[in-house]
Each structure stands twice: as C-alpha cells, then as structure tokens.
Amino acid sequence: MKRNVFFLLLALTGGVAADGMPIGPGSSPSLACDRQGRLWVAYEKAGDIWVRSSQDNGQSWGAEVAVCTTLAPSVQPSLGLDSSGAAEVLWLEDGQVAFSRSADGQSFAAPVTVAAGKCADPDLAVGPDDSVHAVWIDLSTKSPDVFYGYSNNAGKSWTRGVNVSRTPGICSHAVLSLGGDNLVNVAWLDTSSGVHRPDINVVQGSQDSFSPPRNASNTAGRSQWPEILATSSNRVYLAWMDNSRSSSVWDIYFARAQDNGQFTPPIFFDTPAASTDPTLACDDSNHVAVAWVDASQNAAAPDIFLAQSGDGGVTFTQPVNVSQTPGVSRAPSMVLNQNQYVVVWEESEGGQKLIKVGRQALTRKPRQPVSSGKY
C-alpha cells in the first residue's frame, strides 16, 4: 500500500531545479563520459544511429555525427568510450549486432558485424585496458540465451560469442559492466523460475570463463529491466523494476554485491505510482545513484526521478523529479561527471521524440531511503 502520499510528493518536488533541456530529435539514448569530462550520447533517429558530444557537462551540444546510415533499420545503440576518448558504439541492425568506432568523434569506421543471425538487446562496455566487450540475446533457439564476445583490437575483430547463461528459461534484456582487472559482470532477465515470475540472473567472469548463473533478485513477483554497474574496485550495483509489493504497481529495487559475491536483500524506492526503466551511475568512491521513469506526479506524462547515495548504496536520498517536463519520459541513461549526475532520456512531446538532459548536484549527506521496508 502506498502511504503518506502528500508528504512524499512534497519531498519529490523540492530541492532541485530541473532543466529538461532538449538536445535534439531522437530516441533510445545511451550516455557516457570520457576521462576529460566530455559527454557523449548515442541515439536512434529515422532508423539510423547518431552521436553528439558536449564539453560543458551537457549545457550545450555539438552537431550530430552519423554512426551508420543504412537501408536496414538500426536500433538500440549502446555507447562506450576508451581511455583516449574514442567513441565506440554497438547496435542492432536488421537482427544482427553491429559495431563502429570513431577516434576523433567526427567520422565512424565502416560497421563490423559482432554477431550474425537473429539477435536482440545488445549492450557494450569498455574495459580498463580499452578492450571492448558485448552481450546480446541469441534468438535462434526456442530458449534464447545470453551470448558474450570481446575485442582486443579496438573492435576491428571479435571473438566468437560464448553462451554465458545456459539456463532452461527464456533470457532477455542482457546488460554488462566491467570492474577492475577486466572482471566482466553480466545480468539479464530469466524465466527459469517461471514465466509468471521471472528473476534477474547474474554471472561474473573474465573473457572465456564465467561463474554459474546466480539468481540475484529472487523476489515473489515479476522482475524486469535489469541494470548492472561495477566500479574499478569491483563494487557491483544492481537495479531492476519489480511488482512484488503490488501486482499492479512497479517499484524500483536496488541491491549491491557483498565481498562473497552474493547480493544484499533488495531495498525499494517507495513512490506513489508506477516506477520503471531504472538506470545507474557511480564513481570509484561510495557515490551511486538510481534514476528511473515515475508516474507519481502525472500518470499521463511520467517524469525522471533520481535517488542518490553517498555510502555505497546503504542509504539513499529521497527521490527527486529531475525532469519536470510536459511530455512522456522514458529510457533514461545516466553518468556521474564533474560532481553532477547527468541524465538523458527520450521524451515524446508534440508528436515527436526528443532527447532531453537534466542534472543533479552530488550530495554528500545521504539520508534514509523513502521506505525503511525491505523485501
């Protein structure tokens, strides 16, 4: 049951001036920042993949640059940056996983096929040594699995995909993040516990050797939309949407990995209405934030909410609306850069889809979560 709605809404609206500035037309954004503090965003537009960059933490953006412009539809871009600032983009093109790289941000190399056949849900991460890593869902069998591949030559060639899930259930929405020593963390949605109560499974490994899948959510309801993020010291954070508390209302759940690799029991962010589409950002200290789409203030036009922690995810600030825009917000992507959490998202407004950006300053005084309850 949702309680204290009036007082919660006061907390959700106070304390932050949201900008919600449009970057330009587009959808499905993926945000990253390089070591010099430059922001990059990749996105879909008119069936192709594009990027823009910002040198002032998202206050202004340069001209868009085409990653690929082909007759086949290109969707679901995932963006990474190596130590030199080169932009590396993975996407789905006509059912195949494709990759391209730009050293100067002005032109991209001809696309390389990472995985052929019938694929879905690609995701990319760049390792500390600039190796490039990818996961995707192979749809060629009745029980789709998560496949993983990597490149040690800036994406010019890729290893053959390795099945890292191998579960009896249906796998979807694969995501990955690399920690220190190129330790690979992969999460996905898996129906092995039952199609009516899928869970989030996680594996950890290095290149060709992975642990057995571990059920990291294990809740009574439906889990969806996992996001995973690792630091250079191998702290691992996990977020997802879950309807365990109410079958009709989604909440955002959060857990962190302990030293033994097991995830803590999840906490949830108790807002009055449906919460979906979580994303994560962190640094190598104890700062971590969760952002998501929330319908608490306007069911017809959901906004982007954000909660942050200064103690490694033990406690969080109360969620704050960082968009406060008139359209329908979805698919946020977030980084922590220059002591600010920067969020981009897709917004449907006036019959078109726009990429918008918002920011929230880093807090150094975390408080208790909105709800003290734990699942």
pLDDT at 366: 55
What residue segments make up the domains of the chain, in order of their start? 5-361
Residue 251's nearest CA partner among 5, 9, 16, 1 is 1
pLDDT tens digits, one per residue of 298-333: 999 999 999 999 999 998 998 999 999 999 999 999
Q: Using alpha carbons only, what angle is made at residue 325 by residues 324 and 330, rounded to the nearest 5 degrees? A: 100
Counting every residue written for the chain, the total comes to 375
Nearest partner of 48 among 114, 120, 138, 111, judged by Cα: 111
What is d(CA 31, CA 181) in angstroms, rounded to the nearest whole number?
Answer: 23
pLDDT band for 369, please (50, 70, 90 cuts). low
User: 86 with 138: CB under 8 angstroms?
Assistant: no
Region 132-160 average pLDDT: 96
pLDDT recorded at residue 370: 46
Residues 326 and 318 sit within 8 Å (Cβ to Cβ): no
* Euclidean distance between CA atoms 364 and 297, whole angstroms: 27
Mean predicted confidence (pLDDT) in 46-59: 96
Alpha carbons 231 and 253: distance in angstroms, whole number: 19
Tell me the C-alpha distance between 67 and 78, whole Å. 12
Residue 70 CA, chain-centre distance (Å), reads 26
pTM here is 0.92
Give me 296's structure tokens: 């608490």
Q: Which comes out higher in pLDDT, residue 18 or 340?
A: 340
> What's the mean pLDDT in 119-125?
98
Architecture (CATH level 2) of domain 5-361: 6 Propeller (2.120)
- Positive or negative CA dihedral for 363, 365, 368, 370? negative
